């Protein structure tokens, strides 16, 4: 197993490099950029704004003095070429693309992600400020979906084909078919002052007076705010996990060793939880890290927007829209690295749950 772990860790390096290289190349051909964004903001802005944005390198009075005719940036006509060059230097675009990529990878290897272009704070600090929201959504969504789907999936497998299985399958299918953002809107309409009841708050993760509350009050206030967003995200994962659990148990129940255990006189409960459960839950439990990471990084953008939660999903989207490349590439690097690590942890969980599985003899 040690050799397998070493091989997987070694493969992470070229994988990360490939992901970052492809993304970097795509960005080079994508229209727009931080320089174009500032140029667009300067149209109609006063000289003081230009001076602050350009770091003082350009003469504000010369913004209308140059023709900008040779500029490769759209909308740069009328701006001093020296000011444009100063902007390029400020963002590092005065260097060739390959030098910028090598410097970025070298810095990222030491977890130096630089500063945000437009927020003027370190990227790691910015990500750290958004982490509590995304962790809350991802962790609670995963725990709730597993807490419901595992018992329900087992019950459906044991009662396969019964009325209980049929009507619960209908609920599961409806839950899977409803997008999380649409369910979020329905919850707002019914329970957040949309058209019926004003039970839950609509904005933020805590109340404004959160710091003044007692410990029990803080817990209740936090749960009060997180209820609707978590329910919105859990509905799709709940449906998927339920069907996965049911199918996994059905596959195990139909195997020969289950029939042998029953013939030995074991009760149905002993057969189910003493023999079937461990094998059937292998794929479900081992997928927990991946399910959490998926909810943590990918599933919260629309929910964060709808409920005004300032998390990583919203940060990534705004950074792409604003061409804040340090934040874009840093989040991509961190997300990719964590995804690779979680995949390795999932494999290790397989071997921990069932020691019969041996990845050592497999080719990576």
Quick one: pLDDT band at residue 218, thresholds 50, 70, 90? confident
Instruction: Please state, in angstroms and rounded to a whole number, the distance separating the CA atoms of residues 244 and 285.
Output: 11
Q: What is the pLDDT of residue 76?
A: 57
Q: What is the pLDDT of residue 296?
A: 62
Q: What is the pLDDT of residue 45?
A: 46
Is pLDDT above 60 for 68? Answer: no
Instruction: Please state, in angstroms and rounded to a whole number, the distance separating the CA atoms of residues 238 and 254.
Output: 25
Q: What is the pLDDT of residue 67?
A: 47
340 vs 75: which has the higher pLDDT:
340
- The owner of tokens 């993760």 is 205
Rounded mean pLDDT, 273-292: 72
221 vs 88: which has the higher pLDDT:
221
Cα end-to-end distance, the chain, whole Å: 12
175 vs 49: which has the higher pLDDT:
175
Instruction: Please state, in angstroms and rounded to a whole number, the distance separating the CA atoms of residues 364 and 345.
Output: 15
Q: What is the pTM of this model?
A: 0.70
Quick one: pLDDT band at residue 98, thresholds 50, 70, 90? confident
Instruction: Please state, in angstroms and rounded to a whole number, the distance separating the CA atoms of residues 321 and 232.
Output: 25
Determine which of 19-28, 61-70, 210-219, 232-241 has the lowest per-residue pLDDT on average: 61-70
Is pLDDT above 50 for 260? Answer: yes
pLDDT 10s digits, 202-213: 777 788 888 888
Token readout for 113 is: 């992600």
Q: What is the pLDDT of residue 299?
A: 55
341 vs 67: which has the higher pLDDT:
341
Q: What is the pLDDT of residue 57?
A: 39
Q: What is the pLDDT of residue 59?
A: 38
Rounded mean pLDDT, 193-205: 77
Is pLDDT above 50 for 163? Answer: yes
Q: What is the pLDDT of residue 257?
A: 83
Radius of gyration of the chain (CA): 27
Q: What is the pLDDT of residue 18?
A: 92
pLDDT 10s digits, 6-62: 888 888 889 999 999 998 888 877 777 777 777 776 665 444 434 444 444 333 333
Domains along the chain with CATH numbers: 34-112 (no CATH), 124-361 (1.10.3720.10)
% residues pLDDT > 90 (the chain): 4
Instruction: Please state, in angstroms and rounded to a whole number, the distance separating the CA atoms of residues 358 and 333.
Output: 30
Q: What is the pLDDT of residue 120?
A: 79
Token readout for 15 is: 């994988």
Instruction: Please state, in angstroms and rounded to a whole number, the distance separating the CA atoms of residues 16 and 156.
Output: 41
């Amino acid at each position: 197993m040690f050799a397998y772990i070493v091989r997987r860790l070694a493969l992470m390096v070229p994988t990360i490099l490939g992901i970052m290289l492809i993304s970097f190349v795509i960005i080079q051909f994508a229209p727009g950029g931080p320089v174009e964004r500032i140029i667009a903001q300067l149209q109609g802005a006063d000289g003081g704004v230009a001076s602050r944005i350009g770091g003082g390198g350009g003469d504000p009075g010369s913004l209308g003095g140059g023709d900008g005719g040779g500029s490769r940036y759209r909308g740069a006509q009328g701006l001093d070429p020296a000011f444009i060059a100063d902007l390029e230097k400020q963002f590092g675009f005065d260097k060739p693309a390959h030098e910028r990529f090598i410097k970025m990878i070298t810095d990222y290897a030491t977890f130096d992600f630089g500063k945000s272009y437009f927020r003027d704070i370190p990227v790691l600090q910015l990500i750290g400020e958004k982490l509590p929201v995304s962790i809350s959504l991802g962790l609670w969504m995963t725990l709730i979906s597993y807490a419901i789907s595992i018992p329900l999936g087992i019950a459906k497998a044991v009662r396969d084909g019964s009325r209980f299985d049929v009507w619960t399958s209908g609920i599961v299918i409806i839950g899977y078919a409803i997008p999380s953002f649409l369910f979020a809107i329905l919850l707002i309409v019914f329970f957040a002052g949309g058209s019926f009841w004003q039970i839950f708050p609509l904005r933020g993760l805590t109340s404004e007076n959160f710091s003044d509350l007692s410990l029990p009050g803080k817990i209740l206030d936090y749960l009060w705010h997180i209820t609707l967003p978590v329910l919105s995200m859990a509905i799709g994962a709940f449906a998927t996990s339920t069907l996965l659990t049911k199918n996994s148990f059905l596959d195990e129940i139909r195997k020969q060793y289950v029939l042998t255990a029953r013939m030995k006189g074991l009760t149905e409960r002993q057969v189910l939880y003493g023999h079937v459960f461990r094998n059937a839950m292998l794929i479900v439990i081992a997928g927990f890290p991946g399910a959490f990471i998926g909810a943590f990084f990918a599933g919260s953008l629309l929910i964060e927007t709808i409920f005004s939660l300032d998390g990583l999903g919203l940060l990534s989207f705004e950074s792409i829209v604003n061409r804040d490349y340090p934040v874009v590439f840093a989040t991509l690097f961190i997300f990719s690295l964590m995804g690779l690590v979680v995949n390795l942890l999932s494999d290790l969980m397989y071997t921990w749950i069932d020691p019969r599985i041996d990845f050592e003899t497999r080719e990576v």
